[in-house]
Amino acid sequence: MKAKTTDKIATFVICFFALFIVALLVGLLGFILARGVSHISFDFLTSAPQTLRAGGGIGPQLFNSVFLLILTLIITIPIGWGAGIYMAQYAKPGKITDFIRLVVEVLSSFPSIVIGLFGLLLIVNTFNFGFSLLSGALALAVFNLPLMVRTTEQAFRAVPKEQKEAGLALGLSKWKIITSILLPAALPSLITGTILAAGRIFGEAAALLFTAGMSTPPLDFTDWNPLHARSPINPMRPAETLAVHIWKVNSEGIAPDSRDIAAGASAVLVLLVLAFNLIARWFGRVVYRRLTAAKRMD
């Protein structure tokens, strides 16, 4: 077969699969949104769920999902970025480094239900944190750390060596090179890794069943003292997230409109992930332009 023919066939196959993936994604999002958007209203987003009566909302579950995301990222980002920077810039090649990399890859392949059981035994029972937002955040941090470490390491390794060598030629310390040269250049990839982790946090349900719980106490949104039991920002209270609520309504819901609630909650979850994705990319682009010379080159 001629080289030009082979090239055309390969290009067609690659384009076909790329368009297939895009069509699959658009079809999936369209199906979820078409079923659920009509059920979204201000009352649906702010009111509490109903067990027996129709007309329940997802207000506490929506707040819990966002608050759990913040708690988990507060734990995951410093540890994940720190470990990734260590693996990329400080760890010397050898058996120990290879072993650490192997442990990270094995940990990333663990099913979320196993992470949930680990969290139940260690965090909930041994550390006596109980079913709480903090227990859920710690379990999700364990779940997401391998992804964050790998993306951070790859982001720093992808920065051209010439940039690091230029910093060394200027007499900069290693830490100064990391914070002033490598970190701004790696920032877009770090933002991408954070977005991927956030998507997993929003959509995770199995691990949270055993750590954050399947119920939410009545919340008082006028009380913002984190030590009070009914405060929304109390990290030691149980919390049912949006993903857990969707699973619960679909499997155990006895309200007359449970299917509508599940459809509406699914649409809200998808829109939440899309909104976070867009906001994080916009924020990352702004920070990148401020930290680098990209703005001056436009």
C-alpha span between 51 and 254 (Å, rounded)? 7
Quote the CA–CA distance of 142 and 132 in Å, as a whole number. 16
Token pair 């941090």: residue: 141
Report the amino acid identity of residue 25: L
What is the pTM (predicted TM-score) of this model? 0.87
**pLDDT means per 10 residues in the chain (298 residues)?**
86 94 93 91 90 86 93 93 91 87 84 90 92 94 90 90 87 88 87 84 89 89 89 92 90 84 92 88 81 61
**For residue 281, which amino acid is it?**
R
- What pLDDT sits at residue 79? 94
Q: Which of 143, 144, 160, 148 is nearest to 189 (CA)?
A: 148
- Closest by alpha carbon to 209, among 162, 159, 244? 244
- Between helix 242-252 and helix 183-203 the angle, nearest 10°, is 20
Residue with the two structure tokens 């579950």:
61
CA 108 to chain centre: 14
**CA–CA distances in Å: residue 124 to residues 66, 210, 212, 246:** 21, 8, 9, 23
Tokens of 267: 């649409």
Closest CA to 242 of 48, 36, 58: 58
What is the rounded CA–CA span in Å between residue 261 and residue 58? 8
Quote the CA–CA distance of 134 and 200 in Å, as a whole number.
Answer: 17
**3-state SS, residue 131:** coil
pLDDT of residue 293: 61
Q: Cα torsion for 87, 89, 93, 99, to the nearest 10°?
A: -10
- DSSP letter string over 228-279? STT-TT-TTS----HHHHHHHHHHH--STTHHHHHHHHHHHHHHHHHHHHHH
Written as six digits, the tokens of 66 are: 């966002």
Per DSSP, 219 falls in state P
Sign of CA dihedral 65, 41, 23, 281: negative
Supply the pLDDT for residue 295: 55
For residue 39, the 8-state DSSP code is G
Strands (DSSP E) contained in the chain are: none
pLDDT at 9: 92
Residues 240 and 243: their CA atoms lie apart, in Å, by 8
Taking the C-alpha atoms of residue 240 and residue 59, their distance in angstroms, rounded to an integer, is 11
Q: How far apart are CA 286 and CA 258, in angstroms?
A: 42
Residues in the chain: 298
The pLDDT of residue 197 is 84
